[in-house]
Amino acid sequence: MSKKTLIIVPAYNEAGSIADVVENIHKHVKDADVLVVDDGSQDRTARKARESGAMVISLPYNMGIGSAVQSGFLFAKEKGYHFAVQVDGDGQHPTSEIPRLLAALENGVDLAIGSRFVQPTNYRPPLLRAVGIKIFSFLTSSIVGKRVYDTTSGFRACGRKAIVLLTETYPHDYPEVEALITLHRNGLRFVEVPVEMNYRQEGKSSISTKAGVYYMLKVTLAVLVAVIKRRNGE
């Protein structure tokens, strides 16, 4: 692979898992740089990440996952990376699948989603979440004009065009669905690559029920607004 690849790992208080994630990435992706974006963690996330051989950008306060990932995009854009892959710092995303996402980019798409629902997997989301996932899938599919199964997966690889676009416009919280609409509206193409994720043992999600309601409302509104938003540079 001659093209420069950056693996962006947003991490908020992930001192327990970050070293494993970084090591796994190095194991599965040979010639990529790993950038951990420490999103204002209070624990030793930054230090652990640095010790495991990653580059670390520390945000001065907790900015939210979207802003953290966007910091990575900014870095990738300025440093001239061709590809940027987003991998969560909690170990949920299968680093072994990164090469398959990159292969999709090599084939000329602008963004590849590591998708849980294209093929039947072992993942059984709780009822409320399953409903939300269905709604976003339906909304996105109708707007984009093709079937999109997993709109909320944060396991993604971006090509240069997507990096530049998302550096300019990326929501600060719950960014995944809206970003797809933004890409579509700007004429960029994305595909889904089926992957099997590692699920948290305790089943504790970062999104509580109360936050889940906000998530639904915010993302639905954001998606509808994204449709009528002006394109970048217009």
Interface with other proteins by CB under 8 A: which residues?
55-61, 63, 67, 70-71, 74-75, 78, 172
SS3 call for 219: helix
Q: Which is nearer to other proteins, 58 or 220 (CB)?
A: 58
Q: Which is nearer to other proteins, 33 or 150 (CB)?
A: 33
Tokens of 100: 């398959």
Q: Which is nearer to other proteins, 84 or 148 (CB)?
A: 84
**Listed residue (18, 69, 15) closest to 42, CA to CA:** 15
To other proteins, the closest distance from the beta carbon of 146 in angstroms equals 31
Helices (H), 8-64: 18-28, 45-51
Specify whether the CB–CB gap between 232 and 127 falls below 8 A.
Answer: no
To other proteins, the closest distance from the beta carbon of 76 in angstroms equals 11
Tokens of 106: 């090599």
To other proteins, the closest distance from the beta carbon of 78 in angstroms equals 7
To other proteins, the closest distance from the beta carbon of 22 in angstroms equals 16
**Listed residue (40, 44, 50, 53) closest to 10, CA to CA:** 40
Give CA–CA dist 11/24, Å, rounded. Answer: 15
Give CA–CA dist 196/121, Å, rounded. Answer: 6
Give CA–CA dist 206/223, Å, rounded. Answer: 21
Q: Which is nearer to other proteins, 65 or 195 (CB)?
A: 65
**Listed residue (57, 109, 114) closest to 87, CA to CA:** 114
Specify whether the CB–CB gap between 37 and 11 falls below 8 A.
Answer: yes
To other proteins, the closest distance from the beta carbon of 35 in angstroms equals 9
Q: Which is nearer to other proteins, 133 or 165 (CB)?
A: 165
**Listed residue (32, 38, 155, 21) closest to 83, CA to CA:** 32
Q: Which is nearer to other proteins, 4 or 28 (CB)?
A: 4
To other proteins, the closest distance from the beta carbon of 212 in angstroms equals 23
